[in-house]
Amino acid sequence: MAPAGKRIVFTGGSGKAGRHVIPELIKKGHSVLNLDLTDFPDPNAGVFTLRTDLTDSGQVFNALTTHFNFAGYEGPEVPSPPDAVIHFAAYARNMLVPDNECYAGNVRSTYNVIEAACKLGVKKIIIASSETTYEVCFGQGDLDYTEFPLLEDADVNPMDTYAISKLCGERVARGFARRFKTDIYALRIGNVIEPHEYERDFPKYVKSPEVRKRNAWAYIDARDLGQICDLCVQKDGLGFQVFNATNDTITTTIPTKQFLQQYAPNTPITKEMDEWEAPLSNRKIRKVLGFKEEHNWRKYYNPDR
């Protein structure tokens, strides 16, 4: 028997990832309220958006104790906290706003969401961290990764504002999970690919693989990210965890070890890797959460044609 759907508050659902993740959660039977500053882009998706400034703690506490839509007024129950909170809202990269605002906005909103959810008794919180924490994506100059495969237990030390804000979010999550004895899972999300981007972008990625170094030659299909979020919602009892959220395989036509020896010769390969394993490896979500990708890039772009 399939597990019963959960009531999920999702922040940032109108963004690039969220607009695909929320429909996947709904397909799994969950009810979702979107907290964002702009409406959900698909008016036919049945997603209610509550316009919420997450840097305002009072708004966050209120938004986590509201009806999911107007139908809530028809029943006998007053609003109550959700079963789970998924926090994706953020400045999505550097250079959208000045660095100090990127840091302040991302850290404050993440803190507010985690604090409110924990103090309201929510026992499952999922936050969006980032591939950028592995130092190279927004690092200054042509940097090398510390080792391959990139795994969650690495000692990461990024130098850019966006990645540092994400690490701060992980640290807040770790502390609150310990204090409130709740599950908080941080997803280090890879380069998010929407369905229409395969035909547009992958010819360049495959033919000029050097352009993908900053993404560690990995990606996450936005719909598979929805599956990962659902698996996180369903998996209880792990406390604080960090998961790389990427698809299975490297975005090249050369097997992983051979490719890395050619294009990243200064980075040691410290563990055995599968023939086509993505350097930013998802082996933990496959083992712990049971993730099975549905959207491998080769389904949508044939590099041999």
Mean pLDDT taken over the chain: 97
The whole-model pTM stands at 0.97
pLDDT at 278 over 50: yes
Q: Which residues of 291-301 are buried (b: 16+ CB within 10 A; e: fewer)?
A: bebebebeeeb
- What is the enclosing helix (H) or strand (E) of 110? helix 99-119
Distances from the Cα of 108 to the Cαs of 54, 56, 83, 169, in angstroms? Answer: 8, 8, 22, 9
Q: If you average pLDDT over residues 286-301, what whole number do you get?
A: 98
Which residue type does 25 have? L
pLDDT of residue 3: 62
Residue 22 phi/psi, 5° resolution?
-60, -45
Percent of the chain scored above 90 by pLDDT? 98
- Judged by average pLDDT, the poorest of 4-8, 187-191, 217-221, 254-258 is 4-8
- Give the pLDDT of residue 1: 42
Q: What residues does each domain of the chain span?
A: 7-195+219-248+280-298
pLDDT at 14 over 90: yes
Instruction: Give the residue-averaged pLDDT of 123-149.
Output: 98
User: What φ, ψ does residue 274 adopt, rounded to 5°?
Assistant: -65, 160
Query: Got the DSSP string for 50-90?
Result: EE--TTSHHHHHHHTTS-SSGGGGGSSPPP---SEEEE--S
Distance CA 268, CA 257 (A): 10
pLDDT at 305: 73
> Given this model, what pLDDT does residue 206 score?
95
In the predicted structure, residue 2 carries a pLDDT above the cut 80: no
Residue 79 pLDDT greater than 60, yes or no: yes
Q: What angle separates helix 99-119 from helix 161-180, to the nearest 10 degrees? A: 10
- Written as six digits, the tokens of 172 are 């807040």
Residues 190, 131: contact at Cβ < 8 Å?
Answer: yes
Q: Which fold has domain 7-195+219-248+280-298?
A: Rossmann fold (3.40.50)
Structure tokens at 225: 């990210």
